[in-house]
Amino acid sequence: MKKLSIIALVLSTTLLTFSCKEKTKEAVTETKVVEVEKVVEKSNDFVKELKFKNFGYKVTATNSGSLNKLSIQPIGFEQNQEITQEIDGTVTGVDTEDLNGDGYPEILVYVTSAGSGSYGTVVCYSPNEGKSLSQVYFPETAGNKKLSKGYMGHDEFEVIEGTLAHRFPIYKDTDSNANPTGKTKQVQYELKNGENGRVFAIKKVIEY
């Protein structure tokens, strides 16, 4: 009986040790998977810091799906409260420029939607005498009758001589989304004070 008890005790201890080792392996495996997922997620993030004289902005975006989180951290202003919002698309670029000549730079974030159209928009914030920031209204191209003819997305943006330049290909009626055969349209916007805040107003439109 003593021998049987000893054998049973040894088997029980062995099984318990084996079970603990298996649980430890599972825990290690789960930890590694989480770490890999975090690394992959971070690799998609957009992070850029821009400076203009004594001011600046740090822009970050998740860029991990069709809907993302955008964060704008002002630097050097009287109120440096971070701005966060959800955006439909991914951040493809940023600019900072004093668009209205008041000595304080605006921050412009260029967002491109998912899908073959790659429709673009601009998220812009303008300082109020170096204090709080207010969002600038950017008009939709598709809602403008003069601009929307032949428009099917594939937008590009950049700051040129104190204005916001918006370029996109012009499609003919028989063109596919992947093959525009028309000219390129460039719309230059300037920052203006509107009734309910600052807006981008069309200054000039050219085709080439």
* More confident of the two residues 33 and 168: 168
Confidence check: pLDDT of 10 > 60: no
Average pLDDT over residues 25-29: 41
Contact predicate 126/100, CB 8 Å = yes
What percent of the chain has pLDDT above 70?
Answer: 79
What tokens were used for 49?
A: 């810091």
Global pTM reads 0.78
Q: What pLDDT sits at residue 117? A: 87
What percent of the chain has pLDDT above 90?
Answer: 71
DSSP 8-state code for residue 119? -
Average pLDDT over residues 180-203: 96
Which CATH class, in words, describes the domain spanning 44-207? mainly beta
- Lowest pLDDT segment from 20-24, 67-71, 73-77, 176-180: 20-24
Confidence check: pLDDT of 164 > 90: yes
